[in-house]
Amino acid sequence: MDVILFLVFAVIAVVCAINVVVQTHPISSAISLVGVMGSLAVLYLLLGAEFLAAAQVIVYAGAIMVLFVFVIMLLNAGAETRKGRSLLVQLLGVPLLVAFLGLMAYFVQRLYPQSTSVHFGGFTKGGAKEIGRALFTTYLLPFEVTSILILIAIVGAIVLARKEGD
């Protein structure tokens, strides 16, 4: 049952991710991105990382997507206009994509040989206690650098907004 659920939600994530790129209207792309985030949350649940799944839904599918939609509406972005594609792109696009994906698959197989398989629900380090302990011990420096970068971005946004208001 776990394998079937994994395959279903993995396909949903890939289809929604392709739809993010293919859509011409930004709101449709944002909705597809919510589909990707939701299916990733289910994949986290299948692996036994309940806290990560909840954080995925609350932070990314909730707050970040509301921010994206707010910015899209604020900018009043309309549908993207399609321009004519060159003949070279039309002829070589799909074969080059297939060759690239084959080359990437070859390198992944060579660099990362077969290892132990994933057991659904076997991951026990996805709880709030384990993640909090890892964040404040092993990953303290990257966590603090990220918070400083976010603070710099907030100050920059305030400075840019203040200059426009004057």
Average pLDDT over residues 148-155: 87
Residue 158 is predicted with a pLDDT of 79
Q: Is the CB of residue 48 less than 8 Å from the CB of residue 31?
A: no
Whether residue 94 is predicted with pLDDT greater than 70 in this model: the reply is yes
Share of the chain above pLDDT 70, in %: 87
Query: Residue 13's Cα: distance from chain center in Å?
Result: 10
Residue 86 is predicted with a pLDDT of 79
Whether residue 50 is predicted with pLDDT greater than 70 in this model: the reply is yes
In the chain, where the domains are located: 1-81, 83-114, 124-166
Compute the distance between CA of residue 82 and CA of residue 4 in angstroms, rounded to an integer. 38
Q: What is the pLDDT of residues 5-14, one digit of tens each?
A: 999 999 999 9
CA 72 → CA 29, 30, 67, 82, distances in Å? 11, 9, 9, 19
Residue 5 is predicted with a pLDDT of 92
Query: What CATH number was assigned to the domain covering residues 1-81?
Result: 1.20.120.1200
Q: Which residue has the higher pLDDT, 19 or 166?
A: 19
CA 84 → CA 39, 56, 77, 87, 139, distances in Å? 34, 38, 21, 9, 48
Residue 104 is predicted with a pLDDT of 94
Mean pLDDT of the chain: 83
